[in-house]
Amino acid sequence: MSQSISITNKEILQQVKLSSKIPDIIEGIVNRKIIENAAVEFGIQAETEELQKTADTLRLVNQLNSAADTWKWLEKQGLSLDEFEKIVQNTVISAKLANHLFGNKVEQYFYENQLEFTSAVIYEVIVDDEDLALELYYAIKEEEMSFYDVARQYIQDKELRRKGGYLGIVHRKDLKPEISPAVFASKAPQLLKPIITSKGAHLIFVEEIIQQELDNQLRFKILSDLYTAWLKQQVQQVEVVHNFNLAVQEG
C-alpha cells in the first residue's frame, strides 16, 4: 500500500544539518559571493551567446534531450527556470573570471614547473633484503632473468604480480623522495640499481620518460588549479557570519 509523505522546507533544512552538509553549503555560498563580487569589480558579464552555449552543455551533460526532460529534471532538483538560468550565468561568470585572472599566466606556470609535469612509466619489485635486490639486479643486467621473471617470483600482490610490477604512469609527487630523483634522471629504458627506503629494497625498471606538452587539457587543468587556489585564499580572508540555526527554527 503506497503512502503520501509531505516534506516541508523546515524538514529539508533539518536534513541538511543532520547530514553534516552545512560546511559544504556555506563554502559554496561564500565562493559564489566572492565570484560575484569579483566579477562586478572587473566588469565581467555573461553574453547571451555564452549563456545559450553553456545552457546547451549543461542539458547535454544531464542528458536532457527534450523540453519535457528538462522540466522533469528541474522539478526533481527543486529548481525553477529562473534558478536554472542563474546556474548557467554563474557557470559562465566563473569561467570568464578564471580566464581574466589567470588566462595569461598558464604558460608561465607550466614552464616554471615543467619538471612537475614530467611523468615516467615504471615497473617495480620490492624485496626485504638489499643483498637479494643486488643479486636480482645483476641477474637481470646479465640477462640470466627478466624483470618479469623477478616480478612473478617476488611480488606478493596478485594483481601487481600479474602485471609484472607495472605501476603505470607516475609523476614526481607519486614517488618517495629517495626514488624520484633516480627515476627522472634515468636514461629510459633503464633498470635502476636497488634503492633502499623504509619499505625495503626497490628494483625499478624505467620504461619511458614522458615530457608533457602544454595541450588544451593541461592548459585547462592549470587554469582550474590556479583559480581554485585563488578562491581558497579569498575564502580564508573572509569572516563568515550566518544564522542557519535561526533559519531552521523559523522554518
The CA R_g of the chain, rounded to the nearest whole Å, is 27
Partner residues linked to 196 by β-bridges = 201
Quick one: three-class SS letters along 231-245? HHHHHHCCCCCCCHH
Query: Per-residue pLDDT for 250 more than 60?
Result: no
In this prediction, residue 16 carries a pLDDT of 85
Do 192 and 106 meet the contact criterion of CB atoms below 8 Å apart? Answer: no
At 214, the amino acid letter reads L
Q: Cell numbers for 85, please give them.
A: 538560468
| CATH 3.10.50.40 residue window(s) in the chain | 119-210
42-89, pLDDT tens digit by residue?
999 999 999 999 999 999 999 999 999 999 999 999 899 999 999 999
- Angle between helix 216-236 and helix 22-41 axes, rounded to 10 deg: 100
Specify the pTM.
Answer: 0.74
Q: Cell numbers for 106, please give them.
A: 598558464
pLDDT band of residue 7 (cuts 50, 70, 90) is confident
83-111, pLDDT tens digit by residue?
999 999 999 999 999 999 999 999 999 99
139-148, pLDDT tens digit by residue?
999 999 999 9
At 153, the amino acid letter reads Q
How far apart are alpha carbons 22 and 240 in whole angstroms? 13
In this prediction, residue 237 carries a pLDDT of 86
How far apart are alpha carbons 148 and 166 in whole angstroms? 10
174-224, pLDDT tens digit by residue?
999 999 999 999 999 999 999 999 999 999 999 999 998 999 999 999 999
Quick one: three-class SS letters along 120-183? EEEEEEEECCHHHHHHHHHHHHCCCCCHHHHHHHHCCCHHHHHCCCEEEEEEHHHCCCCCHHHH
Query: Per-residue pLDDT for 249 more than 90?
Result: no
Query: Per-residue pLDDT for 233 more than 70?
Result: yes
In this prediction, residue 65 carries a pLDDT of 93
Q: Cell numbers for 155, please give them.
A: 611480488
121-167, pLDDT tens digit by residue?
999 999 999 999 999 999 999 999 999 999 999 999 999 999 999 99
11-35, pLDDT tens digit by residue?
888 898 899 988 898 899 999 999 9
Domain 119-210 matching CATH 3.10.50.40: the answer reads: yes
Q: Cell numbers for 131, please give them.
A: 643483498
